[in-house]
């Protein structure tokens, strides 16, 4: 009798799980994890033979598994319960900070990418007489290292940035300014980006490097866009406990004034902000709506200055502060951009160039080498 109940229970459980997996509605995009989910693999003789069908099916099944988030959080809870302080490459830090890991493996590509940038700086100086500036922004993992869990080990970001400072002319080392403001809200707790305040401090350093002074922070009349932001590190850590939500703020659109923003598909809008994204899951997309290969911003500034900004997503929340400084800003994401950078510079009469990445994405990047390609 005992065994009858036991067997029946598991039989029902197994069948229920199997049926639920088939019957449950399929999502194309996971809001929680902020990524597209796998689609059902194509069944062909070829895909069966080379095994890609079966491995793609496994990914599909895991991606669309019924109550996926719940199962993921089961693992996160179990990991915490057994004393693990990181899960899926995210550290559970103090004060609700979920900090992206940055290990030696991630750091491995840093110097090679530095060399690409160094070549590019020499090239732009020689060919166009432009003093290219570079910002490799320290991430929260480095600046807030005192919030890391006990004994956590990360690659030495400070040493890498010192190295970059030695190698690169026009390098702006943000470590001191971020260190001095580390008790302020300069990084999101649940996302790997900096906040609008962190980006502002970076901007002040940039202005200094240009021989100018930034307006005070109050000038921008920053407005709260959302106070319920759960970002990328929250998704990857997988606990989904709904705690320590972040607040996304941005310089007021009134202060920035009118502008024309053209994306790579030729779509035109009048703002660098995307308010509809603030109601979605990844509220950082409020800035620029995400990453695009080439975005052109024409501002009301009448100073004839054109900035080429080669960047990752850290630049998206940095961009608002630049609006008043340039008549035209070209934002290029090397991960998606297929054109030739020297051609872009020549065609647009670029007067200033800024390379802006965060430390981790810069070190892990495999596309930045293409800035030197001439065809």
Partner 1 sequence: MVFSSLEFLTVFLPVVLLLYYLMPDKGRNVLLLLASLVFYAWGEPVYIVIMLGSIALNYLFGLGIDRFEQKKNAQKAILIVSVIVNLLMLGVFKYGNFVIENINAVAHTALPETKLSLPIGISFFTFQAMSYVFDVYRKDAEAQKNILNFGLYISLFPQLIAGPIVRYKTVAEEINHRKVSFDLAAQGIKRFLVGLAKKVLLANNIGYLWSCLTENTDGHLTAAAAWLGAIAYTFQIYFDFSGYSDMAIGLGNLFGFHFLENFNYPYISTSITEFWRRWHISLGTWFKEYVYIPLGGNRKGKLRQVRNILIVWLLTGLWHGASWNFVFWGLYYGLFLLLEKFVLNRFLPKLPSVVRHLYTLLVVVFGWVIFAFDDTAQLFAFLGSMFGANGFAEGDFVYSLASNAVLLLILLLASTPLCASLGKKLERECEKKPAAFTVLETVWYLLLFVLSVGYLVDSTYNPFIYFRF
State yes or no: residue 111 binds partner 1 (CB under 8 A): no
Q: Does 116 bind partner 1 (CB under 8 A)?
A: no
Residue closer to partner 1 by CB (options 104, 347) is: 104
- Nearer to partner 1 by C-beta: 86 or 372? 86
What DSSP assignment string belongs to 104-137?
HHHHTTHHHHHHHHHHHHHHHHHHH----EEEEE
User: How many residues sit close enough to partner 1 to count as binding (CB under 8 A)?
Assistant: 46
Q: What b/e sequence results for 304-320 when a residue is b if at least 16 CB atoms lie within 10 Å of its CB, and e otherwise?
A: ebbbbbbbbbbbbbbbb
- Out of 37, 56, 65, 115, point to the residue binding partner 1 (CB under 8 A): 65
24 makes contact with partner 1 (CB under 8 A): no
- Contact pick of 13, 112, 122, 268 for partner 1 (by CB under 8 A): 13
Its sign, for the CA torsion 143, 149, 151, 153, is negative
Contact assessment for residue 168 and residue 114, using Cβ atoms and an 8 Å cutoff: yes
What CA–CA distance (Å, rounded) separates 198 from 137? Answer: 10
Binding residue (CB under 8 A) for partner 1 from 85, 244, 271, 293: 85
Q: Which is nearer to partner 1, 105 or 119 (CB)?
A: 105
Q: Residues 23, 25, 28, 51: which binds partner 1 (CB under 8 A)?
A: 51
Those residues with Cβ within 8 angstroms of residue 55's Cβ, 6 or more apart along the chain or in another chain: none
Site for partner 1 in 212-251 (CB under 8 A): 238
- Rounded CA-CA distance 352/125 in Å is 11
One symbol per residue from 142 to 171: x for binding partner 1 (CB under 8 A), - otherwise; what is it? --------xxxx------------------
3-state secondary structure of 30: strand
* Rounded (to 5) percent helix, strand, coil in the chain: 45, 15, 40
Beta strand 268-269 with 306-311: parallel, antiparallel or unpaired? unpaired
Q: Which of 37, 41, 68, 158 binds partner 1 (CB under 8 A)?
A: 68
Does the footprint of partner 1 cover residue 265 (CB under 8 A)?
no
Among 35, 75, 94, 208, binds partner 1 (CB under 8 A): 75
Token reading at 352: 């200033």
- The answer to whether residue 54 forms part of the interface with partner 1 (CB under 8 A) is yes
48 part of the interface to partner 1, by CB under 8 A = yes
Tokens, residue 61: 């099944």
Rounded Cα gap, residues 291 and 332, in angstroms: 9
Nearer to partner 1, 5 or 218 (CB): 5
| Cβ atoms of 119 and 341 closer than 8 Å | no
Q: Considering the rule CB under 8 A, would residue 40 count as an interface residue with partner 1?
A: no
Q: Please identify which residue in 86, 247, 262, 271 interacts with partner 1, judged by CB under 8 A.
A: 86
71 forms part of the interface with partner 1 (CB under 8 A): yes
Q: What letter does residue 187 receive in the DSSP assignment?
A: B
Binding site for partner 1 (CB under 8 A): 2-7, 9-11, 13-15, 17-18, 21, 48-49, 51, 54, 57-58, 61-62, 65, 68, 71-76, 78, 82-86, 88, 104-105, 108, 150-153, 238
């Amino acid at each position: 009798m005992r065994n009858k109940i036991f067997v029946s229970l598991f039989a029902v459980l197994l069948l229920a799980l199997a049926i639920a997996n088939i019957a449950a509605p399929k999502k194309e995009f996971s809001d929680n994890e902020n990524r597209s989910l796998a689609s059902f693999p194509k069944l062909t003789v070829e895909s069966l033979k080379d095994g890609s069908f079966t491995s793609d099916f496994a990914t599909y099944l895991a991606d669309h598994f019924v109550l996926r988030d719940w199962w993921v959080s089961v693992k996160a809870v179990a990991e915490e319960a057994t004393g693990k302080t990181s899960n899926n490459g995210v550290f559970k830090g103090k004060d609700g900070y979920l900090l992206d890991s940055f290990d030696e493996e991630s750091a491995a590509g840093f110097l090679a990418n530095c060399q690409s940038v160094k070549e590019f700086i020499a090239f732009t100086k020689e060919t166009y007489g432009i003093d290219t500036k570079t910002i490799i922004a320290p991430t929260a993992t480095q600046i807030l290292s005192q919030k890391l869990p006990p004994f956590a080990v990360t690659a030495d970001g400070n040493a890498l940035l010192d190295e970059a400072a030695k190698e690169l002319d026009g390098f702006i080392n943000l470590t001191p300014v971020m260190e001095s403001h580390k008790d302020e809200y300069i990084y999101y707790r649940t996302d790997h980006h900096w906040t609008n305040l962190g980006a502002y401090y970076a901007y002040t350093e940039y202005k200094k490097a240009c021989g100018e002074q930034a307006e005070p922070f109050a000038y921008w009349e920053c407005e709260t866009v959302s106070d319920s932001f759960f970002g990328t590190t929250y998704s990857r850590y997988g606990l989904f406990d709904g705690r320590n939500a972040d607040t996304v703020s941005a310089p007021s659109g009134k202060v920035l004034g009118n502008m024309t923003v053209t994306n790579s598909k030729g779509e035109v809008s009048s703002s660098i902000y995307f308010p509809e994204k603030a109601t979605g899951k990844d509220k950082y997309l409020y800035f620029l709506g995400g990453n695009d290969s080439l975005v052109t911003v024409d501002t009301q500034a009448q100073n004839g200055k054109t900035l080429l900004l080669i960047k990752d997503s850290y630049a998206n929340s940095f961009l608002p502060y630049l609006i008043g400084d340039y008549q035209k800003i070209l934002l290029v994401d090397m991960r998606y951009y297929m054109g030739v950078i020297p051609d872009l510079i020549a065609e647009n009469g670029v007067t200033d160039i800024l390379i802006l990445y965060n430390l981790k994405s810069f070190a892990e990047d495999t596309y930045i080498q293409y800035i030197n390609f001439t065809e």
